[in-house]
Structure 1
C-alpha cells in the first residue's frame, strides 16, 4: 500500500530517518573521543547496529512509498554538529563531563528510536508494508542498547561527578 508523502506515517518515518542519520553521526564522533575504552567499544558496536537499523527503516520508507526527506535529514545532521558546541568545563580538551553528557544524549536518541519502533508496531496491522516481527526485534534491540548504555553512563557519572 502506498502512502502519500504528506501523511502522518510519512512524516513519522521521515523524522526517524533524519534522527537516525544524526544519531549515527553522534555515535561515531563520540566513539572516537570517549575516555573510557570499554564505552568507546560499546558505542562503536551500537553504531554498527544503528547503520543496519537505518537501512531497515529506509527500506520500510520505500515499501510505504514515502522515501526519505533529505532536507530534514540534512537539518538533523547539522543540528547534531551544532550540539557539539556544548560546554563541558573546558574549551581546549575533552573532559569526563563530556563523556557523561554524550552518553546521556545517546540514551535519549536510543529511547526515541525505540518509541518510533513502538509507534510503527501500533499501526502494523494497518500498513501491510510493515513487518511485526522485525519491528518487535528492533524495539527489543533498542531496549538492550539502552541497557548497555546505562552501564557506561553509570561509570561515566562516577568519574565526572566526583569533584
Structure 2
C-alpha cells in the first residue's frame, strides 16, 4: 500500500483543479519476478491506470516503467536478504538446540549408579546422541540448501 502511494506521489506532483492526466501500464508476474511495461506481456499481464489532475505533470516516456521495475527489484532483493538472514538464524538455533540436548544426555552419565545400570545408560546415551546428531545433520542440510537457493536468486538480481 505504501509502495503504491510512493509511486503515485513520485510520478505526479500535487493535485489541483485542472485537467486530468492518465497513464496506463501493464503489470506482468512471472516466476522470475514482476515486470511493468507499456505493452501487454502475456496471458498473466494485468492493465493498471494511474490518474492525476496536475496540468503541469507530463507523462514520462518509459521512465516510469523503469522506475517501477527498479522498485520491484529492490523489494525482491530486500525480501531475499531478510529470508537468508532468517534461515541463518534458524540454523544457529538448531545448533544451540543440538548442543543443549547433547549436554543433557551427557549429564545422565555423571549420576551415581551401579555398573549394570551405568552400562545401560551409556548405551542409551550413545543411541540418543546418534539420533540427535542425525536429526541435526538432516535439518542443517535442508537449511543450507535453502540458503544456497536464496543466495542464487539474490545474485541474479544484483
Greater RCO structure (CA 8 Å; 6+ sep) = 1
Task: Answer 1 or 2: which has greater strand percent.
Answer: 2
Task: Answer 1 or 2: which has greater helix percent.
Answer: 1
Q: Please state which band the TM-score falls in when normalised by the shorter chain.
A: 0.3 to 0.5
> TM-score, normalised on structure 1?
0.33
Bigger Rg over Cα: 2
